[in-house]
Amino acid sequence: MKNIEQIIKDSLENHEMPYDGAAWEAMSKRLDGTTPSPFYRKWWVAASIGTVLVGSSLFFGLNNQTDSSKTADANAPVATKTNTTTPTNNQADNRFDTHTNPQTNTPNEQQVATNSVDKTQQSAKPHVTPNQILEVTPLSGFYIEPIISTKNDSGNPSNEQKNYLPVQLAQTNLCIGDEIEITNPNDALSISVIQNNRTQLIKPGGKRVVTANVEGTIEVVSGKNTQTIAVNRPSDKLYISADPTVIYNNGIPSVEFTGSGAESTIHWTVEKYHGEVQNGNFIVHPYTGKDITVKATSKDLNGCTVTETKTISIKEEYNLQAVNAININSGDSRNNRFMPYALIERNIAFELYIYDAKTGRVIYKTNDTSNGWDGTDMNTGSLVQASSVHLWKVIIKNPLPGEPKEYKGTILVNN
């Protein structure tokens, strides 16, 4: 607004109207022929004084208001007006001519309007020096993505642009419970192992043993390379059957187990005892104790391990098939002499000792299955007391796998 007032003020200053001779002559005759009345003369003087006062007030008020505007716009370009019409002497003297020519005033009004718009636009433009730095603030709600160079100072691709190396997997099919070791081949980038919606990170050059704990897949992600490991649940089921009756083959105790339901060969194991496979069945030799636990393992079509265990209890404990009493008056050599029957059947090296239960003294010993004890004390040469209990012990020189070296028991002597 201050600029427009200044423009109007500058355009009115030294403003002149074109000369009209007819109008001037008519005004002169009117002034010469008519003497104004005292009333009009007083009105004219008062009007002149008022005009001077109002004009002076406006002039000094505008000067005060535009001083600050001139100081602020000192560096801005100032619009000037060039009058293309050169005033004549008659035009300079014709200051009381009230007749105006619209066509003559039109260019000056357009020029005033044009100068006003130009000056307003110029004052609105920012003044920027060559050394001035232009800062741009992003609008609220907008994100300006930074430009990140994919090359380092030496011109080589950065880590973000390097390709991830794929992981070398030893297996692509696992079963529940299996383990696999995964190695990260990248020097500067981590890889991810995803299983059951859980992610494990392996650092550059690191290793991790991963256990397949749920059926489904394990994903190994190295950059854009994704490898899948299938995790399967065993599809087969093993069944084990056994007869708890002990079978003696040549004096050796045996219990037979049979497996079924597997597509491949069954592998057997047994706790404490010795076992062997005969004709597809598992034979266990329980030399001590009554409880037998066996484990059968096989593979299904997916290569998954199928396992089954079974525990049985036998009716009697093996003790070289020895009897617990003899009758020295019996005519049957199997009843009137003491010799463990398994020693006769097995034909192995052994030593048999008979002890006095009260004193612990050895009263008989032999290593020949044909010389069983008949109840005679070798120290005195006489029979032991009737219905007496004695201790016996057998030492095996070369026991079988899983067999103890010594067997012990008691013998009752009747006569």
Q: In order of start, what are the domains of the chain with their CATH numbers?
A: 2-124 (no CATH), 164-232 (2.60.40.10), 239-313 (2.60.40), 325-414 (2.60.40)
What is the C-alpha to C-alpha distance for residues 334 and 338, in angstroms, rounded to an integer?
8
Share of the chain above pLDDT 70, in %: 65
Mean pLDDT of the chain: 77
State phi, psi for 373 to the nearest 5 degrees.
Answer: -80, 130
CB 175 within 8 A of CB 233: yes
Mean pLDDT (whole number) for 165-176:
89
pLDDT greater at residue 140 or residue 182? 182
CB 413 within 8 A of CB 388: yes
Residues 6 or more apart in contact with residue 180 via CB below 8 angstroms: 169, 170, 171, 174, 209, 210, 212, 229
CB 186 within 8 A of CB 222: yes
Residue-wise pLDDT for 59-96, tens only, equals 666 555 555 444 444 444 444 444 444 444 444 344 43
Question: How many DSSP H helices and E strands does the chain contain?
Answer: 7, 20
| pTM listed for this prediction | 0.52
Would you state the pLDDT for residue 280?
A: 87
